Amino acid sequence: MPIKGVTGVVRLPRLGKVRLGVKKENANGISYPCPTDHFVCPEEVKKVFGEKPKELRIMFPTDDQTQWASQYLRCYSASRGLVCRGDGETAVAKIDTRTGEIANRDSVETEMKEITCNPAKCTFYQVARCRRVMNLQFLLPDCPGFGVYQLDTSSFYSIVNVNSSLELIRGTCGRLSMIPLSLKLVEQEVQPEGKKKTVRVLSMTAPFSLVEIQRYAQIPPGQVLLLPPPDNEAPDDLFPDEILGKEEPTKTILGSDKDLMLLWDRVKSKVWQMNMQDYQVSNWFQKNCNLDVHITDFDLLTPPNRIKADYLENFLKTLERYTDRS
């Protein structure tokens, strides 16, 4: 006789991760995520789709979108992994029983506890330790093995693109499971803070005509399967290791550190708005600070140690004087 709650459960294994970038190091030896124009895949996937694929043929194993497109606000710690997961109203967090705060590397006893999730007032969200994350899990039917691959993204545009496509496919086919789909990495023009820029985002389409895709939808999807829960690894496009290494943001953002972060954000915003080139940034810092600085440094969420607050203040004043004259 079957055991209720056990015998009927079929869970797919996770075969690997598909990534949206690679880790690099700057001149100070600090690692940071660098986005690529292709999917970074395991070797068995490269053998099918090539070394630098921009498109993958995928399927979703069930109709339950919550199983394979998990979407939450997630906060990560370098020493403890995922420490808080919320939906904007409530969250489940790993709490230090002694201090009542979210656990850090010094916490001895912890407990999982439901807390209020309010990004507008959350210290971790304000310093970009907590971000929206989609964990997308899918089948690669052309690759060997039977299991799912996981891809993580914190891009607002990628999440919206995927969700919109899923709604369209469900409306057309009546289901999502075992429908052949194409997952692409494409360029999309966006306007953060009113300034146009081109970024690489996820896009999902059906690589067939409407008639063909509806024929696929008439084929029974087979037995419903369960997926493994998403792993607790931070996505590649989330934030660099130096941010994850800061275990106590409630302390580091107070006083001068908070002012430095605000100043850094203002300078980065100006650099992006003015579409500055690497030689312009490099020349200014070399001439005024005798410092080797490049445009890629402004991709980091926190300023490198060599870029002091007074350098940033003078740089910002220069940029503001230029825009005032324009």
Residues 200-237 pLDDT 10s: 899 998 887 777 777 777 766 654 455 666 766 666 66
C-beta atoms surrounding 128 within 10 Å: 16
128 alpha-carbon distance from chain centroid? 11
Q: Is the pLDDT of residue 275 over 90?
A: no
Burial class (CB in 10 A: 0-12, 13-18, 19+), 36: middle
Percentage of the residues of the chain whose pLDDT score is greater than 70: 80
Under 8 Å between Cβ of 168 and 37: no
Q: pTM of this prediction?
A: 0.64
pLDDT at 254: 34
Residue 249 pLDDT level (bands cut at 50, 70, 90): very low
Q: Is the pLDDT of residue 319 over 80?
A: yes
For residue 194, the 8-state DSSP code is G
Pick the more confident residue, 259 or 250.
Answer: 259
Under 8 Å between Cβ of 179 and 60: yes
Half-sphere exposure for 283 (CA within 13 Å, toward CB): 6
φ, ψ of residue 238 to 5 degrees: the values are -90, -75
Lowest mean pLDDT among 158-172, 248-262, 295-309: 248-262
Distance (Å, rounded) from C-alpha 91 to C-alpha 84?
Answer: 7
**AA identity, residue 6:** V
pLDDT at 227: 60
Looking up tokens 């869970």 gives 11
Strand locations in the chain (E): 14-17, 19-25, 31-40, 55-58, 69-77, 81-86, 90-96, 110-116, 130-138, 148-153, 181-190, 197-205
Mean pLDDT, rounded, for 269-274 = 74
For residue 69, the 8-state DSSP code is E
Give the tens place of pLDDT for each residue, 3-55. 665 555 567 788 999 999 888 877 777 667 788 999 999 999 999 999 999 99
